[in-house]
Structures are given as C-alpha cells and as structure tokens.
Structure 1
C-alpha cells in the first residue's frame, strides 16, 4: 500500500482536502506510527504496518472530530450559562460576577461561592481524603510513606491492565500490590472526572503516575546528561521518535519549569488533521520503557519518591478539572470571551460605568486567574525559588513553636461561622470546644472524615511537600515533625473534623424539612453553592451514615451527581471558614499574582510570611460579616447600617475574638514565665491590653499588627509584621554588628538572636525549661547585668513581671 493510498484513507476520515503542510506532517506521522508498530511487534511486514498506521491515524482523526464537536457544544453552553448568570445575579457589578466565577465572593447571591477556586479545592479534598482513607484501609500507609517499596509499587502499577498482569503481580509483595490498586483506582477517578468535564483521556495499561520533573536537577545536569538519560529510559517508539529539535525543546520546557502550569489534559480536541499530525509527531507526554526506567529517571530528575508524585498528580488533575467544570475546555480563552461578551452587552445597554468597571478590574482578575490556573506557581528561577522556600521553612521551625497558644480565637471564628449558617454563635463555640476532645483513631471516624472531604494535616504531611518548593530531605521531615510537636496538627485536624461533622449532622437533623421549611439563614448559605429546592430534596432523601449514635449526610450517598458535588463544595468551603485557612483569593491578594523565584515574587513571599491568617481573616471572615447578608454596596458604614445583622455579627465576632485573644496573650505570658498583663492596673494599661488583645484575636487585621506588633499572632515585633520575619532577623543581625563596631557588649544579645532562630528551640513547653536551665545563665555570664536590664525593660514596656525572675534563677 502506497503512502498516497494511506493519505486517501485519511482524507476520507477528514472529510476535506488537505494542505501541502498537512500532507507533509501526516507523512511523518505515518512513518513514525509504522516504526512504532514494528518495534512493538504488532505487525509482521511493511505493508501491514502501513495499513495499520493509516487506519490508526484515520480513526484518531474521526475521534478528534467527535471531540471537537462535543467540546464545542460544551463550550457554547458554558459560555451562555456563565454570561447569563453574571448578568442576572451581578447585574449591578459585572466585574464582581467575573471575580465570583474565578475565586468566589462574599455576597448573598446564588452561586457566589461556586467559582473555579472552590470547585478545585473541593476536588483536591475529595481525591486526597479518599485516597488516604483507602491506603489506610490496606494497613500499608506507613510503608507507603516511607518510600521503601516505591520500586515494587511502580512495578505493580506498570503491570495493571496488561495481559501479563496476574503473573506479574503474583511475583510482587502483596503490600505493594494493594497500594498500587488504590493508586490506580484514584487515578481512574481523576481521569473519568476529567473526561466528563471535556477531556478525552484513554485508559492506558502500565500507567504509573503523572511524571514529575525537577527543573533545578535537570538544568544542573545539562542537556547532554539529560539526553543520555532520556535515551536510556524513554520509550521513543511509544512516544514517536523525536527529532533532535523536539528533544531539545522538551528539555527546555522541563528545565525552565513551564510544565508546572496546570492545564487540562487534551481537552479541546484538534482543529483539523494538521494539528492532529503535530500531536502525533510532537507529543510531549513521556513514556518509559518499563517501571524500573520510570523509577531510575524519577530518582535522578523527579521528586524521588512515589507518594509525592501521586499526590502532585491528583492535585494537578483537580485543578484542571475544576477549571474545565466552570469555564469549559479552554478556560483562559473562555474567560476572555465571557468578559468581552459582557463588555459588548454593557455597551449596547448604554452602561458605560459597567464597561469602565470591567476594564479597571482587568489586573485584579488577571491575578485571580494566575492563582487558579497554576501560573502563579511556576518559578521564574527554580533554584532561587527553592532556596528562598528553604529559608522560609527554617523561619517556620524557628518562630512558630508557640503557634498553638495563639489559636484560641479560632473558637470565636468558628462560632461566627455557625451563626452565619443559622446554627448560633455559642452553640458553634461549644461544638468547636467539644470537638477538641474527639478521638480520630476509630476507623469509622476517619472514614466519615474522608467522606466529608476532610484531609488531616498529619496524613497530608506524610504524603509529601504538597504545593511547596522546599528542598526534599531533612527540612521536609523536620517541618512535618514540628507541626506535630507544636500541636498545630492536633488543633487543626480537630477543628476541621468538628466543622465538617457539625454541618453534616445539622443537615441530617433538617432532612425531614422541605426547602421552604428551612430557616432563612440556612437557605441563604446553601444557595451560595447553587443548592436549591431540587438539590435539597436529592440531598435530604439520601441514605444517612451513623457514627457514634449520630446521623450524618454524606455526598457519596446522594444519587444526583450534580447535587452531590454542590454538597461537597459547600462542606469543603464552609469548613475553610469555620476552621479558617487561606484560599486562592487570599494568596492572590497577598502575593499579587507574582511567581516564586522572581524578585517581585520573593519580596511578596518574604514580606507576607505568617500573614495568611490575617489576610484570610480580613478577606473571608470580616468580608462575610459585612457583605454576606445581602448588602449590595461596598462601603463599611453602609454595610453596618444595612439592618440584616451585619452590626451584630461583626460586634459578636470582634468582642469574642478579643476576649479569646487576651486568653492567648495570658497563655503565652505564662509559657514565658511571666505574669499575665493585668488590664485593671490602670486606665492606660487597660487601653494597651485591649488593643493588644484585639490584634491577637485578629480583629484589627494587619493595620493593628503594624501599630501594636509586639503582640501579634506569632509573637513577632512590628518590623517582622510589616517586612516579614526573615527581613526582621536580617535587620537584627545588622544592628548587632553595628553595635559591636561601636564597642558594645553584644554577646548575650547574639545568643538571644541565635536561639530565636534555632529550629525547635521555641516550642512553647520546652522554651521555659531551656531559658531557666541554660540560656539565662549563659546570657548573664556573657554580659553581667543583662538579666536585670531585661527585667526592667519588661516592666517598663509591658507593665508585667516574671513569675520567677531570671536574676533569682541564676543565683
């Protein structure tokens, strides 16, 4: 069979004439396909290879046309629905409607919190929580996270779906096979979700994991070394033999980190046979010769361990699917099209104010897009991004030992969230405190948490450096242990499970009520996720799960898939309000859409370190209390006068967080061996303590941190609050150096700075022992009178005393 005959077969599939360029590309594709079929032993002679190659490409071409039509239909519907939704729901502020589309907004509007960011987070939690729960059920979680069986698990994944699967799996350890089957199950879940959203990803035997590439390692090795490894490990027959230029381009893409941007996998189909030929001949997807080749490459140029590759793949899949579910198969182009449609409609309606508003918000919307499409995570320079991340990780280990003592106000934040849901402020606080005593050890409790999308921090930490550029190795392990030792994992895990369990149980308690019989506040919060009467009926009539004598509604039991996903989004998003955590919108604000490894990006990341709580508090909690009850304007005074409970909600929140903020201050003083500050000592002291407690509780936000920084959430000073702890530490070192040049005795102060920047030395229960047993004596020996001056400075500046004066301890 001649190539002209082959091309005739392909022309028939294409349904049109082909250009000379398309013919040339298709000839190359045919030749590569022939070589592949021969290399794999799938054909016996050249004629058969040519026939099979032509048929394969023709079939792919027909499939591409089907994909193109299907995706065109998906996109037409998405475009029309989204434009209509923005116009109908946000008619007075179209730009805010686009913001809601990307990252959600705190407005009492239908679907206002069902944007790309919320759907992505829901999918991440669903995939990770379900995956962790399934691995735990095998009893092999510790073995999996240790990395000891990575090669065998990779071999098992390679065998699944092949003709030789049974024999190959029998030769491997049962533990590795069990874990591999769980990985394969959740990779299938993500693949099917992607296909439902508009992708067309086939099930491939021998798929191990979405490959990770470490740009710094690849760049450090250089093109020649990397190419030699590629020749050893890659299956070029499967990939289609790559030209030297294509291989060089692949290296450049991996070495610069451009592969890190989240994008839907093959979502859009192909526009004609030319692009299909390019895809067949220029495929950037890497195939390996076998499991051992994958393992060796991953050790040299990837993330080294399988668990991180698996979780990273799930997170990237969740982000891609979330983008497609909201914005179709070409999200960036779709968003621009929707904005253009809104501008044209506003012009036609004579609404120049709306046109100006849409144009003025272009930069902010671009930052939000960067937060959800993954471009904000692509390092400008991978090496410097990693080094800077390592420095910030060190600061975490050195500065957050007392973080637990600063979290008392989380209980008030929790209560404000349950009040917004119509469940009461005090009852919410009681629910939060009661949940602190809940054991998470029983399997049925952990299974329920997974079903509700709760990812426990300690388990997520075991899986790897999710979303981090930090160097793998001892810093990663130290961070994981540090968050356990400072009790942060314990606190956060219980607050999250309390939130999810409380909402699920409350829903079960209301399952006998129709939509109209529900309380108005409860209907309002459900409507934020586009849950209406029909969805509620599907949710409330689903079978319930019973744990410890209480009933719960779980998404997996809801028969209507759309209602189930809306319920998942409600649970995961509202959990992030009750157990406050930063979201994509907060990250976009505090990092201004900047990329790591750039001058601007690293400036923002250093300056804003430890400020995500303040950013989240202001954006999510204060924003919700002011604008989440129906107020249409943007002014704070107008919101407080709206009359829907804004004033009462904000007052209750600030009063309670301030009281609990004082409790945190008292606990931190006691942990440092000091008497808690007494607000009754004098009117002046009462004012200082009130302001400091307001800041500690989060009520005054970053401005309060600036004015009264010595009492901020993490116990840092004003400079640390504004410039970040790394810059603050640098300034302290420079000041110390200048003082030493003047002849000052700086030995004791140098010791203080050293200890303040030593990992694990500031754990709240260990530091007092270290101070009184060792450090005070060393400081006094280095600089006689240092402790006496320290006591006097504490008394003059904060009006308090040590419980046991250091000068007495060193006698």
Structure 2
C-alpha cells in the first residue's frame, strides 16, 4: 500500500484529521523531491515515507494535547463569563479588551500589546535603522530593508545592519511560533516560511489577469518560485499551472487572499531560498504587494502575530469556537432584558453585538473591504479631513493630555509633579536614553512601531489612496503630535515603574497605610500579596540615580506580563487612544467599501476620542470608589479639563493672529469644556469652520461626506442659480474658500499661509474682499472680545509695518 493510500485510510477510520493528513502529504511530496536529488527513486520514496510517518505521529500527539488545552481554556472562559459581577456580556468583553468595570483579569488587547513590545525588542535594531521620519522612509532606508529581506532569504549582502535586523526578525518569528504552539495551536512546520506574503487587492486589480499570471509564471520558470496546488497537496504540474494562477488572481482580487499571522495552509507561492527567491519576492511584492513599504509590512505582521498569540493564550487555541460559544451565552442573557434595560446608554459600549465586533477588530476581520473603489474615495475624503483639521491638534493635546495624565497618576498614588518633572527631563534630553530604557523595562513597543503600523492615535481615520494617507500621517508627525504622544506614554510608564520601586520595601498590607491608591492598583489588577512579594524581590534597575522596578528580574513570565499589562491599562487613562472596543463601536458593524459602511465611518470621524473619554475617566468616575470620593474626583476632573480647554483656546487664538479671548462670559467656558481633553478635536473643528473655511459647523461635525456635498453645492448649483438669476457669480471666492478648507498647514505655518497666500488670492477674485475682512474683525470683537495682531488681508503683522 502506498504512503498516500495509508494516509487516506487513517482519515477514513477517524484516526487523524484531514488537516493533519494534508500536512503529512505535503511533507511527503516535498521530502521525496529533496531526497531524489541524492538518492534513487525507491530510497527517496522510503525516506520521504518515514518523514511523513514521524510527522503523523507527532501531529497526533499534538492534537491530543491541543484538544485538552482547548477544553481547559473553555472551562476557564465559561467560569470567567459567569462570575463577572456585571453579567455575561461584561465577562465576554473583559476577555477581549480592557474591562470598563475594572473587575480585573487578562484581556486580549492588553496582552497583545505586552507581547508586541517583547517581540519588537528582537527587531530593535531594525526599528532604529529603518523607522520612517516625518516624510516617510528615505531611499537609503528602503534599500536597507530590501537587504534585510535578502538576508532573511540567506543572501550575504555585506550590510551589517541588515544582517543584524534579519537575525532579529528570525528570532521574533521563532519566539512567536513557540508561544502560539505552547498555547495549543497545532501548527505544521513550514521550512520555507521566511517573510509574510501580502498581495494588495487594489494593486492587483490595476493589472490584467494575464499580466499577473505572466509575471508569476516567469518566476516559476526561473526556479525562484514554486506553485503549490492545494487540491493535490503537491507542487502544481504544468497542465495545472494556469488554473492555479487563475485561482490565485481571483482570490486576491476579491479580497480573499490575506493569510492569518500563523497560517496553517500551504501557500500557493513558495519562494526558494537564496538570491533568486529573494529577488523574486522583492519584484513581485513591489508590483503587487506592499510596494516600497516592506518595513511596514514586516512590522504590521509582527503586530498581527502578537494579537494572535494573545487570543490563543487568553481565550484559547481555537479562540473562534470559544468566542462563538461565549456570544451564545451573552445572547441568552440579553434575551431576558426588559425594554428599559435595552435603552441603557452603556449598551453602546457593551453588548453582545459590540463583543462580536470587538473580536473582529482583534482578529483583523473588521478590516475587510467590500468595495475598494468606494472605500478609496470616501477614505480619501477622511484623510483630507485629517490633514486639514488636525494640523493644530497638538495645541489641544498638550494641555488635555497633561490633565488626563495627572489625573491617572494621582488615581494610582503617583505624585503628578513627578510626571511633570519627567516631561521636562525628557524634553531636555531628547528622549533617546529613555526610549532604550522603556524598551528594556518591556513597558512599551518602540515608537517606530506606531510609525510603521500607522500612527495609532488616529488609526483608522487616515485611509484611502496611499498619497492621501501619507499626507495625513505627515501632518500628524510634522506638527509634533506623534513625538508628544510617545513621550507622554514613556514618561507615565517609567514614572509608574519608579514609583513601584520606591515602595518595594513595603508589603501589600503595609502599602495600604503608606500609599492606598497604589495598593488599590494592585488589588484592581488581581496582583496578590504573594505576587507583590515576588515582584519586589528582584533588584531595582538604577539609572543615573533614579530607581525603576526591573521587569526582567521577575522570574515568572505570567506575573511579569500581568504587571506590565496592568500599567499599560492605567496608561490608557493617561493618554487617550481608541481601543478595540471603541473601534468596534465606531464602525457600527458595517463593512468598509459599502455605502452605509462609508457613511458610518464618515459620520464618526474624530468621534472615537470623546467615546474613549466616556469609556475611561467617565466610567471610572461613575463606578469606582465611595460616592464622596467620586464627587471629589469628578469636581477635579471638570475643573482641570475646563482650565486645559481654556489654555488651548487662548493658545490657538494667539497662534492664529488674534489676541486672547475675554474670559468673563459663560460662552467662553462652554467652549472650554468642548475643547478639553479628547473633546478638543471638536474645538478644532469649530475653530476651523468659523475662522478659516466658511463652512457650517454642522457639516464639519457630520463628517467629510456631508462636508464634501456642501462644497459641491457651493461650487456648482449655487453658482448656477446665481448665474440664471442674473447675479454675479462668486465662483472665485468659493474656490479660494474651498482650497483654504482643505489646506493641510500646520499650527506653526497656518497663519502665514492664510495671510500671505489665501488672503491675497481672495483679494484677486473677490470684489467684496475688503468688506469680508472687516466683517471678520468686527465679528471677533463682537463675539469674543478679540482684536487681531495680524489681521485678515494684511501682508505683515500690525506694529511691524
């Protein structure tokens, strides 16, 4: 009986699964091909059969072990869901992302970030060398990443940096595979896996099927590429090659080609090792895949692996099955809700449907695009809005983040003055030393991870064509917002570790009398007295006289990751960023590329930050601690946020050519409230609509789709009506206003661009320009008690001429 017949018989008798059989058959075919180079046909077949038999034995043992791990994982998940004090839905959500009820326990989102930081340490040299600057990667960096790929394929490039980076990539990939395997994922060995394959649906669609097939066939003919026929479990024969390539083109162009982080199936395209395979991968990826952004592809895949490991470790190896069962339990609970309970506003943050969408965000399924053309058009509008509306976002971020960070620090027993001194120290030193220290403490992934992956604070906001996404990301980075966010994250986490080191001499019971908020932090994150004793037993890390709790001195990895995850969750209150829950809420369960999906994404643009404030500080104020403490904290929250909003309004006024506003009217403090914290984005929109664009605030807040429709109406139907009625058209003036509206100027260039470019253009095309400028001055004086130090229409500031 042949090896193939034996394996088929094992499947029919139920001794192995079809998946294991396919893996064994694939190994048998590959091994026979390899052995035949040095053996005769009979010996090669015998050796390949032995290799397949050993693989079958190993797979059967792994399957039995993994089945047991899956059963244990489900038992833990069920207990956790049923025991959550706020019910089953809250229990499901607490497994997936940070628990808004703060009942504790590991979750996938936080665990994924912890693992991401650990994996990123393996590729730290690549992050240092290849992370993009303000305007993206340089040509030299792009060339370096290409050498990294060559080194991974086994090519000696003579590039020492690329060689070290490739070694780091291999180490990170191995650690990721080892962890997910240990968690119970039954992964087949894939000896030809080197770098991820990503074939961009939109890119591939720009080429004909025949050109696509010809390019890949040419690489096959060169010996750089092998086509794998998944129907036969073997390399594609000549008479099947056209069919396999046809199917690959179809799968990619319908968006069904993205492999998971740990893809168990044999890939259609298997690149050979050495220079031929490396160059083939680079050529095809540049044309049909990530283009020049190979670095982003690699780092994005690292992030995907971290999330998948977290899913396997927190939920279970077959997390899809466990989540489906958990959602059924949540549905049963929701079936018993009364009509009044269904109207609870918190269901906007926590319900069975939100849990399902959150899981889709974590697995990447929420990123699916149904209609690339529509997604590209509306995504481009969103990117234009990010560029034009957020050029001064840092003006709101600095006072807003300072307040939320101080509140988060105080809540955890850290002196807010310690955070302030840390910020001043960081600004003075430039941050290089602390970035290395933060990575050493395993507290945060390198800042370059955000740059490669897409600036995380606005992830999902910038989309559409690549050039518009790049422009939006450049605006975010060039104004200093990315650097500010990274610095604040780093300072908060490092000072948190310093505070823990300062109190390491106290047991948990003693700590309750010395620093009760810090003890509450340990309780809140289920770190027991025994755990705390293990944590504080290690020697602290001393740097220039400062002491930090050294995470590497914590021998138990599970405990170390629990502590780091707890600090990351508290950091979410300091620097507000939309998490998986908020992204699930903002998409409404719709798919990108559909009409309603794009309308929802347009309407919710920028709204995720106010929702994040609700899910963090406002939930904490409403649910945590005795009522008198909540009232005190709530008063401080409102007061300090009002002051932060007022500071942002006055700073923006000066930066945009006006004197500070009068502060003796209620309207100013209402707008200060809107400007405060994460709500400051709305202040940016209101300011843009009243001072730069001439567009109504409602259309700006309704999203770019409505705003674009208003622009079209102003430039077409309104002008046509005026022409038909015999009035002079204002097309020139409207064109200038529209250009001003989409101008991506930054906070330090916007005033000069307004006065020296757009105001001068308006004088050329608008016969009413002088009256328009004077109306603006009178309105500022009437409404806000302001005058201009650089008035509209003036070529120079007043007092300079």
TM-score, normalising length from structure 2?
A: 0.84
Q: What is the CA–CA distance in structure 1 between the aligned matches of 2:780 and 2:131, rounded to whole Å?
A: 53
1:221 is paired with a residue whose SS is coil
Q: Which runs of 5+ in 2 are unaligned?
A: 220-224
Mapping for residues 52-71 of structure 1, pairs under 5 Å:
52-71=47-66
Question: Within the alignment, does 1:460 sit opposite 2:444 as a pair?
Answer: no
The worse-fitting range, judged by mean Cα deviation, of 426-435 and 144-153 is: 426-435
Mapping for residues 470-485 of structure 1, pairs under 5 Å:
470=463, 474-475=467-468, 477-485=470-478
**CA 1:6–1:497 in structure 2 vs 1: closer, same or farther (change >3 Å)?**
closer
Residue 18 of structure 1, CA deviation: 6.4
Report the counterpart of residue 633 of structure 1 in structure 2: none
Report the counterpart of residue 613 of structure 1 in structure 2: 609
Q: What is the CA–CA distance in structure 2 between the aligned matches of 1:381 and 1:771, rounded to whole Å?
A: 37
**CA 1:439–1:199 in structure 2 vs 1: closer, same or farther (change >3 Å)?**
farther
Residue 310 of structure 1, CA deviation: 0.9
Question: Within the alignment, does 1:420 sit opposite 2:420 as a pair?
Answer: no
Report the counterpart of residue 299 of structure 1 in structure 2: 286
2:773 pairs with one of 774, 777, 787: 787
Question: Within the alignment, does 1:753 sit opposite 2:748 as a pair?
Answer: no
Q: What is the CA–CA distance in structure 2 between the aligned matches of 1:220 and 1:40, rounded to whole Å?
A: 41
Residue 499 of structure 1, CA deviation: 1.0
Report the counterpart of residue 791 of structure 2 in structure 1: 805
Question: Within the alignment, does 1:740 sit opposite 2:719 as a pair?
Answer: yes
Is contact 2:541–2:549 with CA below 8 Å preserved after alignment?
Answer: yes
Q: What is the CA–CA distance in structure 2 between the aligned matches of 1:572 and 1:415, rounded to whole Å?
A: 16
Is contact 2:658–2:786 with CA below 8 Å preserved after alignment?
Answer: yes
2:503 pairs with one of 500, 503, 510: 510
Q: What is the CA–CA distance in structure 2 between the aligned matches of 1:721 and 1:122, rounded to whole Å?
A: 37
**CA 1:490–1:804 in structure 2 vs 1: closer, same or farther (change >3 Å)?**
same
Is contact 1:664–1:696 with CA below 8 Å preserved after alignment?
Answer: yes
Report the counterpart of residue 555 of structure 1 in structure 2: 551
Report the counterpart of residue 84 of structure 2 in structure 1: 89
**CA 1:144–1:562 in structure 2 vs 1: closer, same or farther (change >3 Å)?**
farther
Aligned-CA RMSD value: 3.9
1:586 pairs with one of 578, 582, 586: 582
Deviations 1:297-323 (A, max 9, x none): 211211023212211210111121111
Q: What is the CA–CA distance in structure 2 between the aligned matches of 1:402 and 1:235, rounded to whole Å?
A: 51
Number of corresponding residues: 753
Is contact 2:132–2:451 with CA below 8 Å preserved after alignment?
Answer: no
1:235 pairs with one of 216, 226, 230: 226
2:271 is paired with a residue whose SS is coil
Residue 401 of structure 1, CA deviation: 1.5
Question: Within the alignment, does 1:80 sit opposite 2:40 as a pair?
Answer: no
Residue 462 of structure 1, CA deviation: 5.3
Q: What is the CA–CA distance in structure 1 between the aligned matches of 2:316 and 2:423, rounded to whole Å?
A: 42
1:121 pairs with one of 103, 113, 129: 113
Residue 133 of structure 1, CA deviation: 5.3
1:100 pairs with one of 89, 94, 103: 94
Is contact 2:376–2:465 with CA below 8 Å preserved after alignment?
Answer: no
The worse-fitting range, judged by mean Cα deviation, of 800-809 and 578-587 is: 800-809
Report the counterpart of residue 251 of structure 2 in structure 1: 253
Question: Within the alignment, does 1:773 sit opposite 2:756 as a pair?
Answer: yes
Report the counterpart of residue 174 of structure 1 in structure 2: 160
Report the counterpart of residue 665 of structure 1 in structure 2: 649
Question: Within the alignment, does 1:500 sit opposite 2:493 as a pair?
Answer: yes
Mapping for residues 524-673 of structure 1, pairs under 5 Å:
524-629=520-625, 642-643=626-627, 645-673=629-657
TM-score, normalising length from structure 1?
A: 0.83
**CA 1:39–1:387 in structure 2 vs 1: closer, same or farther (change >3 Å)?**
farther
Residue 665 of structure 1, CA deviation: 0.2
The worse-fitting range, judged by mean Cα deviation, of 73-82 and 593-602 is: 593-602
Residue 138 of structure 1, CA deviation: 11
Mapping for residues 146-165 of structure 1, pairs under 5 Å:
146-159=141-154
**CA 1:186–1:687 in structure 2 vs 1: closer, same or farther (change >3 Å)?**
same
**CA 1:670–1:39 in structure 2 vs 1: closer, same or farther (change >3 Å)?**
same
Q: What is the CA–CA distance in structure 2 between the aligned matches of 1:343 and 1:391, rounded to whole Å?
A: 37
**CA 1:312–1:21 in structure 2 vs 1: closer, same or farther (change >3 Å)?**
closer
Report the counterpart of residue 276 of structure 1 in structure 2: none
**CA 1:615–1:338 in structure 2 vs 1: closer, same or farther (change >3 Å)?**
closer
Deviations 1:348-369 (A, max 9, x none): xxx95699989x9332222222
Residue 436 of structure 1, CA deviation: 5.6
**CA 1:224–1:18 in structure 2 vs 1: closer, same or farther (change >3 Å)?**
farther
Q: What is the CA–CA distance in structure 1 between the aligned matches of 2:16 and 2:100, rounded to whole Å?
A: 55
Report the counterpart of residue 190 of structure 1 in structure 2: 176
Q: What is the CA–CA distance in structure 2 between the aligned matches of 1:483 and 1:319, rounded to whole Å?
A: 26
2:547 is paired with a residue whose SS is strand
**CA 1:35–1:148 in structure 2 vs 1: closer, same or farther (change >3 Å)?**
closer
